[in-house]
Every structure is written in structure tokens, then in C-alpha cells.
Structure 1
Amino acid sequence: MSTLVTIREVLASHGFGSFFFDDQAAIKAGAHREGAAYVGRAQTPGFKAIREPSQSVSVMLVLSDGYVAKGDCASVQYTGVGGREPRLHADQLAAQVEKQLAPHLRGLAVRSFREIAIFAEKIIEESFQSPRAAAYGVSQALLDAAAHIAGHHLMAQVIKDEWQIKRPLAIVPIYGQCGDERYRNVDKMIPKNVPVLPHGLINTPDLVGVDGEKLEEYVRWVNVRIAQLRTSDDYHPVIHIDVYGLIGSCAGGSIDTTAKIIQRLERAAYPHQLHIEHPLDAGGRDKQIEALGTLRRTLKSRGCKVAIVADEWANTADDVHLFAEAGAADMVHIKTPDLGSLHNTIDAILDCHQHGVGPFLGGSCTETDLSARATANVGVATRVTQVLAKPGMGFDEGFSVVFNEMNRVLRVAQMLS
């Protein structure tokens, strides 16, 4: 555009996320489930109840040409654990955006997304109570503004241009999450040929079993169900299970026993590739890197091809770098709200590529349609190994948001090329 476009005003409104904030410590300790609620006392600081409605904050940048660029601040489902910041409080965060950030952004031109995102993040980190959640939403709005000012309206193209990514924009595999509907939602995923499934939400010890037998039964059921419901012999999805560290817990902390359980799961998943996310929790970043690295080497020495996915304790671009550099995992879950501003997510993805580690571009069910669409653009630009279908836990909604956004981006890019 020939006329200089600047940020005229910064607005914020509070809203809901697409699921709940859950107190993971209380759930792992055996909190009783009644319907969609948990009964018992909260254990994680910042929680008044074990399950609370997730919140979000919409950031709106009113540009001088009248365009309103948008992004949504969000926190993950299990906030306040694994090195993550406490849950956001929407009213408080919205007020901070308008009172503390807006004066610094008014009048600025968005010439470079990366440059202004770094500038905004520094201001946010100085005084915000939920700085990563805030920077996440603000950066989405800045990326939207940069795409508008560029004239093509493609956030993915802005990323590709500013990071000088040589490979063309491309659709990437979507990873569907089933939530508590571990069986019904698998039946929804298979007819849609979801490339990676089902997540499983294996977040209590009874879902794993004393020696992993319950989880083994579930993986075997998913395998059989794929064979029963697939409409093409060419459909061979990856089976990806998130176990929240519980295989290690059920194994009494033994790497050898954890490896043996994972080997049995691999046999149950055959012929499908199996991913196991967060198989154990060592209680801290450095210990987690060491433990996952030992587990990965143990599995490989036994000929096991299960991909180990790091999740907890990989909360910043620096954390992701250390996991990747150490070869502690085959993939790293880059959980977008935890990394704050989207430029950190992009840097972390490219760092994983450089170290030969698969970047899993994820996030949380607690996010919104805006943050999911921005994430889809990041995935298309950086060619991640897989991208999470989000928001929500109903599967269909999140899958359509991410799938449709990726295809819109590619179709417009084709026209412009």
C-alpha cells in the first residue's frame, strides 16, 4: 500500500476459551469426576476450583485505514504446572492491554511483524501478570495487521518473507484430539482421514493400568477401529497418545519398565507409526531432558521405532532449543500459548528443523478460532511435522477451523503466484 498505515487505537475485550482450565495436580491426585465437573479441593495456585471455564482476551488493533486486526490471548488447559505461568484472568488482562500497552503502540507503523512483535513483548514482560498469554494474542493481531498492510492478507506469506523461508507454503498433517470421548470421537476422525489421531487424554492412572494394560487395550482398539472404518486402503494414520507422564508414574519411575510398556504399545499399534507424548515427568527441565534422552536411547537400542514427544518443561524457545540440541525427543510439542509472542514459536520451529527434530505445532483446547487460524498460518509457512486441531475438545469444530484455514491460505497463494 502506498499510504503509510499506522495503529490508531488498541482495544481489548474479554471472552471465553473453548474448554476449561483444569487443575492437573488435583486430577493426577485422584480428584473425583462427576459428569463434566470435578469434586474436591484445588491444589494449583490460582485455581478456586479444580475445573474452571477457560477465558480469553481479544486484542483489536484499529488501523488508520479503518481495518481492525485481531488476535486472541489464551492460556493452556493445565496452567500453572510444568513451568508454565498461572492462568489468565480476562478482565484484568484486557484492562492491562488498553492501559499499559496501547500508549506504546498508538501511532506505530507495522513495517515488520517480527520487529514490532519483539517490541510489544518487551513492554508486556515488564508489568503484565500473564505476559505469555498477552504476547500471544497481541502478536496474532500484529501478524494480521502486517498481512493486511502487505496487501495479500496472508499471515503465512508474511512469515515466509520475514524469516526468508525457501520452501513453498504447504498443507501439513493435522493431529486430532478426542477429549474424554475417547471412542466416539475416534469414529468421527477416521472417515475424515485425519492424519494423526486420537490424543487420548490419558490423564489419570486408571487409563494406563498397573503395568500399562489399559492403555495397551485402548491402542489396540484404535488400531482395529481404523481397519473397520477406513474407506481407503491408502489411509494409514499415525497413532499419537498423550499420557501426561503417567507411563513413567505407573512404572515407578523406572526407565526400563517405561520402555517395556512402550514396546508393548508399539506392537498394539502395528502397522501404524506410534507417537507417545510426555511418557514420564522428571520434575524439571534439565532432568526431563536427561530422562527423555535416556528413554529414547533405550528404545532405539531395542529396535523400537516409537517417536517420543516432549511436552512438559519445553515452555520457551530456549527450552525447545535445549530439548532439540540434546536429542532428547523425536518431536517437541511447541505449545503456542506457552511461548508467548508468535515470533518465538516460529523461531522454535525452525530451530527444531535445524536439529533434525520434528516440530509439533500444538497449543490447547482452551484457545479460540482466531488463535487456531493464526497457528494454521504458522504451520503452513514453516512446514511443521503436524499441527493440532484446535480449539475445543469436540474434534469436529477444531478440525474444520484448522483444515479450512490451511486450504484457504494455499488457494489464495496459488492465485497470487
Structure 2
Amino acid sequence: MQIKDVLLAPGNGAFFYDDQEAIRSGAIQDGFIYLGTPKTPEFNSIRVPASSLSVGLVLADDNVVWGDMINVQYSGAGGRDPLFDTNQISNLTSRVVAPRLLEVDASVFGTSCARVFEHVKGQRLPLAVEYGVSQALLRAAAHFQRKTMAEIVCLEFDLPLPTRRVPIYCQSGDAREINVDKMILKAVDVLPHGLINSRQKFGDGGQTFIEFVTWVATRTRQIGRPGYHPVLHFDVYGWIGQEIGLEPQRIADFICRVVDTVPGFTINIESPADFGSTQAQIENYAKIVSILDSRDSSARIVVDERCNTLDDIRLFAEARAAHLIQIKTPDVGSLADTAHAVLLCKENKVGAYVGGSCTETDLSAQASVHISVATQADMMLAKPGMGVDEAFSIVGNEQNRLLAMLNRRRAQEENIG
């Protein structure tokens, strides 16, 4: 299937790009903005409106399929690609990527991704480019073969048609209490993220954080429907290590203390500490996981920072340096790599969480749903944005529509058989 033309359209992400280093260093919030001088290269202010770039593939039958290029909220941190620059990305896409797209057979997803994403002068393309273009190529293959994007992934990786719904995880942003109530009323599977990204939110010795965990568990029991029992997931952005110290034993002790305050709940702790490099992160996270496992703790360690690409994910999974790996889709790049990453986690008996960022778009979120369901990930992020309602409806509705179509397809195949 020939691609006749490539269209580019600048757009907006659903949230903002934030300078994580400046926030960690104590930048003060004033309303919605942060006061102070940015510390991460290419940030002109600590909080910047998220920009995106849509890539449209004009197919032989004149249909146009789209994907969205975007970076994550904390760009430039933890080994990630720098801040998204629409003009630079547009220029590179026009010069390098578009000519390649015009030469591939877009009916074959994996092959077309491999060809288009070949290195340039020994360097990988920006991961945002891989991410957006792979979305468009996946939609092109689905259009040509008259299948869902999930079915294309199943064909590529020789997977059975999925039957299981993937649990959805919502994030609260700074509007914690209101958004936690929304999540509980909507019976979200995993909640609330919490955005524990500053000393003020973590508290002296972690006391403010522990009080928040206790409040979430209590609130769940107070207003949740009978039988509702979500997983509680908190992203602490390395603050346990910053406040308690970088000794794995002390970090594990603190996490056990948190878990003891809310008996009966499974607790996910994301990014408990940042050890400064991928190798140090692997070694020390593996120690924390081992300590928690030896105590039969209900806590699960989730890795994010320092675990970005498919190669990183392989290293963490093989070392069992987490109970659950966030496969942060814009940081992984190609959606083919995201699918491969989930399967790698499964091979190594490590949980696979298809994540991403609040900065994303409706198109990238919907494509991520198809990868998550096709590979039967352990959970997936409700995205984009920080408002709960919008993200939960985009991801949840896409999953329900997809499962309805897959059920119909399965019934047809059984009738033919």
C-alpha cells in the first residue's frame, strides 16, 4: 500500500512540559505557574504549554491516517529526550522521514517501522518522531487490512485475540482530593498517582505522604461502591530517596511503614528513589524488590526514571529490578517497541504497565489502548491531561469499543470453524 503524501499539522498536548529539576530544587507554585529560574536545558520557564506535531499519511485511496508526535511532561530529565521543539521536529520529519514514508509498503506495520526509523548518521531519530509516525503506520496497516490496530499487533507478534480487559490507572495532578473522589465514584481500577513531586507534598520524614495515603484508603471505603477495592498507586518522584536516604534497606523499611498504615490494600510505589544512572538504578531497585519480597510485603515497586527505551526495559526486566515497569510510550518511541516491551516483561515475570504522559493527545492515547489490549498488559494509563474525566473516558471507551469488535471477530471465526 503506497503512501502518496505526508501532512504535518502543529498541535497542542493535553497538559504542560515541566522542568523537573527546578521543581525538585524547591520552585514555588504561584497559582498554576512555578516561580524561579529553569534548570533543565531548553526550558525558558519552569512550566511550558505542551506542543505536539501531527503527521498524516495520505494513502493510495485518499484516506488520511494520523499520529501525534509528543514528549513527556518531564522532558530532559532522567535520561529522556529534550524539550519538544515543533519547528525542529517538523524540519527533520520533512527532510528525513517523509521521503522514507513515501517508499514503504504501509500495509506491513513492523517492516515499515523498521525502514522508516533507521538511524541517521549513527543516531536514532527523536523518540517523539518514532512515536507519532508509528501511530500513523499502525492505523495505515489497520485500514488496509480492515482490522483493528490491536489485531495488527496480534498478527505481528503471533498473539491470540485478546479477551481480558486491561485495568485502567488514573492520575490526579495537583487537584488531589477532588480527583480522588472522581476516581472512586467512577470505580477506577488503580488510583490516584498523587503527584508527590516536591518536599512540601512529601513532608518531613514522609509524614505528609503517609497521611495522604491513609486519606485515600479511608476515602475509598467511605464513598466507594460495595465491593470496590482498587490498587493504590503513588508516584513519589524519587522523594523517598531524597528524604530518607539512598540506602535500599531504609527505603524498603519506609515503604513497609506506608503499607502498614493501610492494611488490605496493594500499594504501588513508583520511582521511590533516583540513584543517578541506569546501572545504579537497576542494582538498587533489585535490592529493594528483594527485601520487600522476603517480607511478603503487599508493596510493589514501579520503575519510571532511568528506564526509558526498550533496551532499558530489557535490563530492568531481566534483573527483576521492579515488580512493575512503566513502559512510557513517548520515551520508548515506536509502538512496535512498546508491544515488544510488554512481551519482554511477561517473559521475565515482571508486571507491564503501559504508561505515557499527561501531555499526550487523544490519538496517541487511543493507539496505546490497542497495544495494551493486544499484548494484555497488566495496566494502562488513562491519558491525556490531568482532569480524570476526559482521560478515563477516552481510554475506557476505546477499550470497550475495541473489545466489542474483537468479540464479534472471534464469534465470526468460530462460526466459520
Above 0.5 in TM-score? yes
Number of the residue aligned with 1:150: 145
Deviates more, 1:70-79 or 1:102-111: 102-111
Determine which of 241, 254, 263 is the counterpart of 1:261. Answer: 254
| Alpha-carbon distance, 1:287 to partner | 0.1
Cα deviation, 1:176-233, whole Å, max 9, x if unaligned, reads 000001111000001111000000000001212222211110000000000011122x
Deviates more, 1:265-274 or 1:161-170: 161-170
1:102 and 1:396 map into 2 onto residues whose CA distance is 36
1:392 and 1:182 map into 2 onto residues whose CA distance is 14
2:104 and 2:304 map into 1 onto residues whose CA distance is 36
Number of the residue aligned with 1:278: 271
Alignment check: 8 A CA contact 1:289 1:326 kept: yes
Gaps of 5+ in 2: 411-417
- Report SS of the residue matched to 1:18: strand
> Share of identical aligned residues, percent?
45
RMSD: 1.4
1:328 and 1:105 map into 2 onto residues whose CA distance is 38
| Alpha-carbon distance, 1:6 to partner | 1.1
Alignment check: 8 A CA contact 1:124 1:131 kept: no
Deviates more, 1:8-17 or 1:114-123: 114-123
Number of the residue aligned with 1:53: 49
TM-score (normalizing by structure 1) = 0.96
Deviates more, 1:287-296 or 1:87-96: 87-96
Q: Find out whether 1:300 has 2:293 as its counterpart.
A: yes
Quickly say closer, same or farther: Cα 1:116–1:124, change in 2 above 3 A.
Answer: farther
Determine which of 6, 12, 16 is the counterpart of 1:16. Answer: 12
Number of the residue aligned with 2:63: 67
Number of the residue aligned with 1:136: 131
1:370 and 1:72 map into 2 onto residues whose CA distance is 7
Alignment check: 8 A CA contact 1:124 1:135 kept: no
Query: 1:279-358 to 2 correspondence within 5 Å?
Result: 279-358=272-351
- Report SS of the residue matched to 2:342: helix
Amino acid across the alignment from 1:325: E
| Alpha-carbon distance, 1:255 to partner | 2.2
1:361 and 1:308 map into 2 onto residues whose CA distance is 15
Amino acid across the alignment from 2:218: V
Quickly say closer, same or farther: Cα 1:169–1:138, change in 2 above 3 A.
Answer: farther
Alignment check: 8 A CA contact 2:151 2:161 kept: no
| Alpha-carbon distance, 1:23 to partner | 0.4
Number of the residue aligned with 1:385: 378
Determine which of 68, 86, 93 is the counterpart of 1:90. Answer: 86
1:287 and 1:7 map into 2 onto residues whose CA distance is 44
Alignment check: 8 A CA contact 1:186 1:198 kept: yes
Alignment check: 8 A CA contact 2:271 2:305 kept: yes
- Report SS of the residue matched to 1:77: coil
Alignment check: 8 A CA contact 1:12 1:95 kept: no
2:160 and 2:402 map into 1 onto residues whose CA distance is 17
Cα deviation, 1:279-315, whole Å, max 9, x if unaligned, reads 0110000000011111111222233220001111111
Q: Find out whether 1:104 has 2:97 as its counterpart.
A: no
Q: Find out whether 1:175 has 2:169 as its counterpart.
A: yes
Alignment check: 8 A CA contact 1:359 1:386 kept: yes
- Report SS of the residue matched to 1:197: strand
2:329 and 2:43 map into 1 onto residues whose CA distance is 22
Determine which of 346, 353, 376 is the counterpart of 1:360. Answer: 353
TM-score (normalizing by structure 2) = 0.96
2:57 and 2:304 map into 1 onto residues whose CA distance is 32
1:23 and 1:384 map into 2 onto residues whose CA distance is 30
- Report SS of the residue matched to 2:301: strand
Alignment check: 8 A CA contact 2:67 2:136 kept: yes
- Report SS of the residue matched to 1:11: strand
| Alpha-carbon distance, 1:170 to partner | 3.0
1:297 and 1:346 map into 2 onto residues whose CA distance is 27
Amino acid across the alignment from 1:379: S
| Alpha-carbon distance, 1:168 to partner | 2.2
Alignment check: 8 A CA contact 1:211 1:261 kept: no
| Alpha-carbon distance, 1:169 to partner | 4.2
Deviates more, 1:320-329 or 1:406-415: 406-415
Alignment check: 8 A CA contact 1:315 1:335 kept: yes
Amino acid across the alignment from 2:235: D
Amino acid across the alignment from 2:301: I
Number of the residue aligned with 1:80: 76
Count residues in correspondence.
Answer: 410
1:137 and 1:218 map into 2 onto residues whose CA distance is 36
Number of the residue aligned with 2:185: 191
Amino acid across the alignment from 1:66: D
Alignment check: 8 A CA contact 2:104 2:115 kept: no
Determine which of 200, 212, 224 is the counterpart of 1:230. Answer: 224
Cα deviation, 1:33-62, whole Å, max 9, x if unaligned, reads 100000110100111111101111101000
Quickly say closer, same or farther: Cα 1:125–1:172, change in 2 above 3 A.
Answer: farther
| Alpha-carbon distance, 1:414 to partner | 1.8
1:125 and 1:41 map into 2 onto residues whose CA distance is 35
- Report SS of the residue matched to 1:13: strand
1:107 and 1:315 map into 2 onto residues whose CA distance is 30
Alignment check: 8 A CA contact 2:19 2:47 kept: yes
